[in-house]
């Protein structure tokens, strides 16, 4: 048993590149379908932001701070840093009497073209709110205020991150073998891909308890505000729009992608072995079509999976395809 061939790139009528990976689909009872090795240990990276948002709700911090679904969508987001996101995160943080310096995510140029252009052409440096994870960190700050922890909320033994670990292990059903430091400086806990899909299946089958209510609110926030979760043209946003809010999906760095499908009671997790985003986007698209929740004819399927690849003069040079047997 090894990783599965998943996504191929063809040129001139022959395969040029190949992405291998693992994918697991779970319902509330366990694995219902898998490719590759479900026990593969992965870092979920940003794909588990909805898990990291659970303590924000379950602690009562979100309600105490009056957070809306828009805030919750941002807490689950890897956003583009467009004005839409920046204004919302700024309002959130300043509303708590805090500022950019209270964040610990670091700064990077935003993906949003207009905002990036504005920064570059005005010789302005990006701030931490531009970081694609600033919504998650605003959630950390909100939880931290509620818990009364010190300012260094990303420290692995800080109450905020202890809550993250406990929640993560509860929803994956596994003791995490350890953590890595994520791009945004927060700990990111490792799990098997089966554990990540198990967590997503729990989000797809929420109970009536406190956790179930929190899961339902987060999934609704994501699928009702797809533009807040990523941005125009991004896979998360466009896939959720294409499925008209029936499914919540989330990308993670190094080739991770997850899906929560309440209609079917299914959760799904994908890891591309080589970490390529183009392949994780294509693989989750293929699985969503396979499960019947995304129409094969929808333009978004051409965009992220089997559409033609064109060059600088618009000539078709090849195409992306699913490998034989996947999905």
Contact residues toward a second copy (CB under 8 A) are: 9, 11-14, 16-20, 41-43, 104-108, 117, 120-121, 131, 177-185, 188, 190, 254-255, 273-276, 279, 311-318
User: Please, what is the minimum distance in Å from the beta carbon of residue 298 to a second copy?
Assistant: 26
Calculate the alpha carbon distances from 178 to 54, 152, 156, 169 in Å: 20, 20, 11, 11
Minimum CB separation of residue 122 from a second copy in Å reads 9
The one-character DSSP state at 111 is: S
Contacts of 47 (CB under 8 A, 6+ apart): 196, 250, 251, 252, 256, 257, 258, 269
Residue 246 beta carbon to a second copy: minimum distance, rounded to whole angstroms: 31
- The Cα-based distances of 240 to 158, 235, 244 in angstroms read 34, 8, 6
Closest approach, Cβ 179 to a second copy, in A, equals 5
Tell me the three state secondary structure of residue 20: strand
Alpha-helical (H) ranges within 205-291 are 210-224, 226-229, 235-242, 277-290
Cβ nearer to a second copy, comparing 131 with 144: 131
Q: Closer to a second copy by CB, 176 or 205: give it.
A: 176
Residues 261 and 178: their CA atoms lie apart, in Å, by 28
**Shortest distance, CB of residue 41 to a second copy, whole angstroms?**
7
Closer residue to a second copy in complex, CB, 27/174:
174
CB of 130 or CB of 223, closer to a second copy: 130
**Residue 244 or 313 with smaller CB distance to a second copy:** 313
CB atoms within 10 A of CB 67: 23
Q: Where are the alpha helices (DSSP H) in 17-112?
A: 49-52, 54-58, 61-64, 69-75, 83-95
Smallest gap from residue 274 Cβ to a second copy (A) = 4
Please state at what angle helix 83-95 crosses helix 134-147, rounded to 10 degrees: 10
Nearer to a second copy, 14 or 244 (CB): 14
């Amino acid at each position: 048993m090894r990783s599965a061939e998943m996504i191929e790139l063809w040129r001139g009528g022959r395969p040029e590149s190949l992405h291998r990976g693992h994918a697991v689909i779970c319902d509330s009872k366990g694995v219902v379908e898998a490719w590759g090795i479900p026990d593969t240990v992965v870092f979920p990276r940003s794909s588990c932001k909805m898990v990291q948002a659970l303590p924000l709700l379950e602690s009562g911090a979100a309600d105490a701070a009056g957070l809306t679904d828009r805030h919750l969508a941002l807490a689950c987001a890897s956003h583009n840093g467009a004005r839409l996101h920046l204004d919302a995160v700024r309002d959130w943080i300043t509303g708590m009497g805090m500022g950019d310096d209270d964040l610990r995510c670091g700064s990077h140029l935003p993906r949003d073209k207009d905002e990036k252009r504005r920064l570059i052409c005005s010789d302005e440096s990006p701030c931490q709110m531009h970081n694609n994870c600033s919504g998650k960190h605003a959630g950390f700050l909100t939880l931290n205020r509620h818990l009364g922890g010190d300012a260094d909320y990303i420290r692995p033994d800080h109450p905020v991150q202890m809550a993250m670990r406990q929640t993560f292990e509860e929803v994956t059903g596994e003791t995490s073998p350890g953590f890595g430091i994520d791009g945004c400086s927060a700990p990111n806990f490792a799990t098997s891909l089966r554990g990540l899909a198990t967590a997503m299946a729990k989000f797809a089958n929420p109970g009536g308890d406190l956790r179930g209510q929190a899961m339902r609110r987060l999934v609704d926030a994501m699928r009702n505000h797809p533009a807040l979760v990523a941005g125009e043209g991004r896979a998360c946003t466009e896939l959720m729009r294409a499925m008209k809010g029936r499914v919540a999906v989330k990308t993670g760095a190094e080739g991770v992608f997850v899906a929560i499908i309440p209609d079917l009671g299914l959760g799904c997790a994908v890891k591309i072995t080589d970490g390529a985003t183009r392949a994780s986007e294509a693989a989750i698209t293929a699985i969503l079509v396979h499960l019947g929740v995304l129409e094969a004819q929808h333009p978004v399927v051409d965009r992220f999976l089997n559409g033609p690849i064109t060059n600088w003069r618009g000539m078709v040079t090849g195409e992306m395809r699913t490998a034989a047997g996947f999905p």
